[in-house]
Amino acid sequence: MNAHAESLDTKAGVVLGFAGVLVGLGATTQAFVSADLAFQIGLGAAVLAALSAAFAFLPRKYPVVEVLQLREFLTAPEAETRLTLLDVQIDMVVEAATLVKRKGQRIKFAVALLAIAAALIVTGTLIATGGTSHHV
């Protein structure tokens, strides 16, 4: 579970990087295409993609066994202690799986926004420049 969460963090970092590049390129190009609605929406989508990726990237408190609370079960019968420990472990796995699932959903959302942003920024730039390239 931890390895999957770490791989999602890596993906979130990649999305954040690409979104940052799009926003940076959009900001430098904005003077030429600022009037184009597709470009502006694309720039906004890139910012939202970056925010979504950053939110997914934030550390979360993953469940761990709190041994101090388990101390009271040491005096209980062994079968009851084993059952309680198993219940705690099951709860931890369910909670961790929920956190990882939410993180994955945020990254999927960020990737979708990033794709939309890239398409709109390119489209807006092409429309604003008439589809021609300018060579320096």
User: How much is the pLDDT for 136?
Assistant: 45
- For 6, counting Cβ atoms within 10 Å of its Cβ (0-12 exposed, 13-18 middle, 19+ buried), the class is exposed
Sign of CA dihedral 76, 78, 83, 85: positive
Task: Supply the pLDDT for residue 34.
Answer: 63
Q: Averaged over 78-85, what is the pLDDT?
A: 83
51 lies in which domain range?
2-129
User: Which candidate, 42, 31, 43, places its Cα nearest to that of 129?
Assistant: 31
CB burial of 10-36 (b: ≥16 within 10 Å; e: otherwise) equals ebbeebbebbbebbeebeebbeebeeb
pLDDT confidence bin for 132, thresholds 50/70/90: low
Whether residue 135 lies inside any domain: the answer is: no
Q: Helix %, strand %, coil % for the chain, to 5?
A: 85, 0, 15
Residue 134 placed within a domain: no
Average pLDDT, stretch 90-109?
88
In this prediction, residues 67-87 reach a mean pLDDT of 77
Interatomic CA distance for residues 52 and 12, integer angstroms:
9
Is the separation of the CB atoms in 56 and 106 below 8 Å? Answer: yes
In a domain, 83, yes or no: yes
Instruction: Return d(Cα 105, Cα 66) in angstroms, integer.
Output: 29
pLDDT at 131: 62
Report the number of distinct structural domains present in the chain: 1
Residue 113 has pLDDT above 90, yes or no: yes
Confidence of residue 1 (pLDDT cuts 50, 70, 90): low
Whether 136 is in a domain gets the answer no
- Does residue 11 lie within any of the structural domains? yes
What is the predicted pLDDT for the residue at 27?
Answer: 75
